[in-house]
């Protein structure tokens, strides 16, 4: 099967967005995405995610925007059985979830869901994480809505792993990623507006700069932060 070109994906994505059909581009792309070389790569933020969840002794974990299950598969193989949390993944693309089921089998639960309307009761999961999910939301209101849902469904906190714009860029900055469909946001400002506490922050340099945040849920005191430099 011939993979679509970046220019072709950009063109399709923009046309579908114009007609308010963003889901359609992911449904179309999901059928070929499993062959993308990106899925076989390993990144430093993957290890950061595993170590952070392990340190916090998470027992119930949700991935929002799980795509074809790359990170869920990594975590399930990285954790030893006695300490393996219960993991669930959600995505709003049926074709992406179908690809994830082929990779993961029946091990984790998978559900069809939009990031701004999660189908779970409040505080259903100890920790939630996203990896390259919020950067595909095209409006600030949508990102704020997703953060509110993460706060609602998380019991202890959540982890954001998102690509960040070049320093000094006007936001939202339209990014150039392998799929060409990214909008980089000022996540720290958005988290502050939501009343969240950034407990830890770290950055990694891959093809792009990737920001990683450990986020505490809104409380009256939201000033605690640990800042770690690039490595």
For residue 149, the domain's CATH number is 3.40.50.150
Q: What is the pLDDT of residue 181?
A: 61
Give the whole-angstrom CA distance, residue 135 versus residue 145: 13
105 dihedral zone (left: phi>0; alpha: psi -120 to 50; beta):
left
pLDDT tier for residue 179 given thresholds of 50, 70 and 90:
very low
Q: What is the pLDDT of residue 228?
A: 35
Give the whole-angstrom CA distance, residue 92 versus residue 76: 22
Residue 168: CB partners within 8 Å, gap ≥ 6? Answer: none
Q: Is 92 domain-assigned?
A: yes
Q: Which residue has the higher pLDDT, 21 or 48?
A: 48
Nearest to 88 by CA among 68, 57, 109, 117: 109
* Domain range for 105: 42-216
pLDDT tier for residue 27 given thresholds of 50, 70 and 90:
confident
Q: Is 24 domain-assigned?
A: no
Angstrom distances, CA of residue 144 to CA of 58, 115, 192 = 25, 11, 11
The residue with tokens 């639960």 is: 109
Q: What percent of the chain has pLDDT over 70?
A: 73
CB-CB neighbours of 131 under 10 Å: 24
pTM score, two decimals?
Answer: 0.81
Q: Is 26 domain-assigned?
A: no
Give the whole-angstrom CA distance, residue 146 versus residue 184: 15
Domain count, the chain: 1
Question: Are the beta carbons of 230 and 203 closer than 8 angstroms?
Answer: yes
Q: Is 156 domain-assigned?
A: yes
Q: Which residue has the higher pLDDT, 28 or 170?
A: 28
pLDDT tier for residue 17 given thresholds of 50, 70 and 90:
low
Does residue 138 surpass a pLDDT of 70?
Answer: yes
pLDDT tier for residue 89 given thresholds of 50, 70 and 90:
very high
Q: Tell me the mean pLDDT in the region 85-107.
A: 89
pLDDT mean across residues, the chain:
81
Q: Is 25 domain-assigned?
A: no
Q: Is 12 domain-assigned?
A: no
């Amino acid at each position: 099967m011939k993979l679509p070109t970046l220019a072709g994906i950009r063109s399709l994505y923009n046309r579908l967005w114009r007609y308010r059909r963003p889901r359609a581009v992911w449904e179309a792309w999901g059928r070929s995405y499993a062959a993308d070389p990106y899925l076989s790569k390993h990144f430093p933020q993957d290890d950061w995610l595993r170590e952070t969840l392990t340190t916090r002794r998470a027992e119930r974990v949700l991935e929002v925007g799980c795509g074809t299950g790359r990170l869920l598969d990594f975590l399930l193989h990285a954790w030893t059985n006695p300490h393996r949390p219960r993991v669930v993944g959600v995505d709003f693309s049926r074709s992406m979830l179908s690809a994830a089921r082929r990779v993961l089998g029946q091990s984790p639960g998978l559900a069809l869901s939009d990031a701004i309307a999660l189908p779970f009761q409040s505080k259903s999961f100890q920790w939630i994480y996203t990896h390259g999910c919020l950067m595909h939301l095209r409006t600030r209101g949508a990102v704020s809505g997703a953060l509110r849902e993460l706060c609602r469904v998380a019991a202890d906190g959540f982890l954001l792993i998102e690509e960040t714009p070049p320093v000094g860029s006007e936001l939202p900055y339209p990014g150039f990623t392998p799929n060409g469909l990214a909008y980089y946001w000022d996540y720290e400002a958005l988290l502050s507006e939501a009343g969240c506490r950034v407990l830890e922050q770290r950055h990694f340099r891959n093809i792009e700069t990737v920001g990683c945040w450990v986020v505490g849920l809104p409380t009256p005191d939201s000033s605690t932060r640990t800042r770690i430099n690039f490595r």
